[in-house]
Each structure stands twice: as structure tokens, then as C-alpha cells.
Amino acid sequence: MEKGSGFGKPYVPDRSGLQVMEGDCGRLEVTCAAAGTPAEKAGFRAGDIVTSVDNRGPEEFGGLLALRRMLRAEAGKTYEFKVARQDTTLRLKLTLEDLFPN
């Protein structure tokens, strides 16, 4: 076994509590908004479809991997999400927090 390129670099955890997967046709679907996290506080629910972040669609901001990187930004960073929930479009403000303080 060899050390990978990320060996020795600090681990930056997710600061949102939001779990998202890539579904049909590249759609970004929320699978979980963990209890007590910024994602739950912002109003996310399992089944929400992310249609934009800060007025940029998934294809513009780089899709799932880019979204995961965004959710590891510094605590206090706020993103405005647009999500589709059933027949409604919602705007949700997500402010990142340190979920695992030292």
C-alpha cells in the first residue's frame, strides 16, 4: 500500500449536514438533511432536487463533486439554494457551521 496524494493533508469535513446524490439525468437529489445541522435548519428534506446554488445550475457550478467541495467551505459561508419539492420551487439559505469543533 502506498500513500496517496492526499496523505498528510488536513481533513476538511462537510459543514452542512446535507447528503446529496446524483440521480437520473444528472439531477442532484437530497437524500438526507441530518437533524440539528445547517441543512435541517435551512429547511432541506429528503427528495428535494437541487436546481441551483447561488443562481448557477449544477452544470454551471460543476455538479455533485463541486457541490461537495462547496459544503466544506469555511463556517459562516452562506449559499442560496433553489430546490424543487414536488410541484413547488423553494429558495433555501444554507449557512455552514463547524459540526465537529475541536
Say yes or no to pLDDT of 25 above 90: no
Domain annotation covers residue 102: no
Q: What is the pTM of this model?
A: 0.86
CA dihedral 63, 42, 84, 53 (to 10 degrees): -30
Tell me, yes or no, whether 41 lies in a domain: yes
Q: Contact 29/47 with Cβ under 8 angstroms?
A: yes
Q: 1 lies in a domain?
A: no
Q: At 19, is the secondary structure helix, strand, or coil?
A: strand
One-letter identity of residue 88: T
**Within a domain: 50:** yes
| DSSP 8-state code for residue 11 | P
Quote the domain boundaries for residue 49.
18-95
Let me know if 21 is exposed, middle or buried by CB neighbors in 10 A (0-12, 13-18, 19+).
Answer: exposed
Does residue 100 lie in a domain region? no
Query: What CATH number does the domain containing 34 carry?
Result: 2.30.42.10
Q: What percent of the chain has pLDDT over 70?
A: 94
pLDDT, one tens digit per residue, over 62-77 is: 999 999 999 999 999 9
Question: Is 28 a domain residue?
Answer: yes
How far is residue 69's CA from residue 80's CA, in Å, rounded to a whole number? Answer: 16
Q: Copy the grid coordinates of residue 13.
A: 469535513
